[in-house]
């Protein structure tokens, strides 16, 4: 019987925001598919726990504590990856933050913070690792949101989150335009997903607003991410890949969020 070869066999993959939600599910899935996965985040205890569980199943993984909004920390991460591997095949910029407020309650510090995590960190990571990705003819996947595509997806108070995700989508497409002959660059746009972005975990409150009748599981988004970073998507670059159970088609029925304040 032929040996089962994973879709990411011998690849070096780095995932930010990898200690919960979509990032954690992707780290576990990428490792199952043969990648050596570098989990990046700030929760070292959780990160090391996930690494241990991946290794127990025969996977290859490590955790690197890094604040991706800090350029010095990103440089330290780059130095580590370059010294240890001399290349990077997959960069999944997944770290994210969700904050919502009406215009009159917008706080400047919160506005800057959400752009730091959702947009600036993506630029820092892509800028730092592009040469290593070019060396391996690798791929970049930036996690945005359907909120970055439409203004009425999450109600009328998503100024900060939607604006930061729209910027990430545009940044992704500009990267694809300029680098697709050397590095494939795509953007993942999930709909509502059961992650730590939401402090109110009663996800059933959204069911009636989604044509498929339920919120996504993190593994379902991770499987879409796997497709985009694998050779199955070898001719896909510049794509804005929506995974939302049809929610963006019915977004006019989406209620205002009860309380959505959290992070990956």
56: β partners? none
Number of C-beta neighbours around residue 234 at 10 A = 9
**Nearest CA-CA partner of 63 in 35, 82, 43, 79:** 43
Task: Tell me which of 124, 159, 161, 179 is the catalytic residue.
Answer: 161
Alpha-carbon separation of residue 204 from 118, 200, 201, 209, 214 (angstroms): 26, 11, 9, 10, 7
Number of C-beta neighbours around residue 116 at 10 A = 17
Helix residue spans in the chain (DSSP H) = 21-32, 44-56, 71-85, 108-115, 121-135, 159-179, 218-229
What CATH number is given to the structural domain containing 52? Answer: 3.40.50.720
In a domain, 77, yes or no: yes
In a domain, 129, yes or no: yes
Residue 159 known to be catalytic: no
3-state helix, strand, coil in the chain (%, to 5): 45, 15, 35
**Nearest CA-CA partner of 60 in 88, 85, 27:** 27
In a domain, 213, yes or no: yes
> Given this model, what pLDDT does residue 154 score?
57
In a domain, 166, yes or no: yes
Question: What's 204's DSSP letter?
Answer: G
In a domain, 181, yes or no: yes
What range does the domain containing 20 cover?
Answer: 12-263
> Given this model, what pLDDT does residue 254 score?
45
Full pLDDT tens readout for the chain, 264 residues: 346 789 999 999 999 999 999 999 999 999 999 999 999 999 999 999 999 999 999 999 999 999 999 999 999 999 999 999 999 999 999 999 988 888 888 899 999 999 999 999 999 999 999 999 999 999 999 999 999 997 665 566 788 999 999 999 999 999 999 999 999 999 999 998 988 766 556 777 877 878 888 889 999 999 999 999 999 999 999 999 999 988 888 755 444 443 444 444
In a domain, 75, yes or no: yes
Rounded distance, CA 45 to CA 94, Å? 19
In a domain, 1, yes or no: no
pLDDT by residue (tens digit) across 15-46?
999 999 999 999 999 999 999 999 999 999 99
Per-residue b/e over 17-50, b at no fewer than 16 CB within 10 Å? bbbbbbbbbbbbbbbbbbbbbbbbbbbeebbeeb
How many domains is the chain built from? 1
92: β partners? 15, 141
**Nearest CA-CA partner of 94 in 171, 32, 168, 174:** 168
DSSP states of 89-114: SEEEE---EE--B-GGG--HHHHHHH
Rounded distance, CA 126 to CA 14, Å? 12
Question: What's 130's DSSP letter?
Answer: H
In a domain, 2, yes or no: no
pLDDT by residue (tens digit) across 205-245?
877 878 888 889 999 999 999 999 999 999 999 999 999 98
Question: What's 198's DSSP letter?
Answer: -
Rounded distance, CA 220 to CA 225, Å? 9
> Given this model, what pLDDT does residue 104 score?
87
Three-point CA angle 155, 159, 165, nearest 5°: 100
């Amino acid at each position: 019987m032929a040996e089962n070869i994973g879709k990411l066999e011998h690849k070096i993959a780095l995932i930010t925001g990898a200690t919960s939600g979509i990032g954690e599910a992707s780290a576990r899935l990428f490792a199952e598919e043969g990648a050596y996965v570098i989990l990046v985040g700030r929760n070292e205890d959780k990160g090391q726990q996930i690494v241990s569980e991946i290794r127990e199943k025969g996977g290859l993984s490590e955790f690197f504590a890094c604040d991706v909004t800090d350029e010095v920390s990103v440089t330290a991460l780059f130095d580590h990856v370059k010294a240890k591997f001399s290349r990077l095949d997959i960069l999944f910029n997944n770290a994210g933050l969700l904050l919502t407020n009406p215009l009159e309650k917008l706080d400047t510090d919160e506005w800057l913070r959400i752009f730091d995590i959702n947009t600036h960190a993506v630029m820092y990571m892509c800028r730092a690792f592009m040469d290593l990705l070019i060396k391996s003819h690798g791929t970049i996947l930036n996690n945005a949101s359907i909120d970055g595509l439409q203004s009425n997806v999450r109600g009328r108070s998503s100024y900060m989150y939607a604006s930061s995700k729209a910027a990430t989508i545009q940044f992704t497409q500009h990267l694809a335009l300029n680098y697709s002959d050397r590095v494939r660059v795509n953007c993942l746009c999930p709909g509502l997903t059961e992650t730590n972005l939401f402090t109110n975990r009663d996800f059933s409150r959204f069911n009636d607003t989604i044509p498929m009748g339920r919120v996504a599981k993190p593994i379902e988004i991770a499987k879409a991410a796997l497709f985009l970073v694998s050779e199955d998507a070898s001719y896909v670059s510049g794509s804005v890949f929506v995974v939302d159970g049809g929610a963006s088609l019915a977004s006019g029925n989406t209620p205002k969020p009860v309380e959505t304040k959290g992070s990956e």
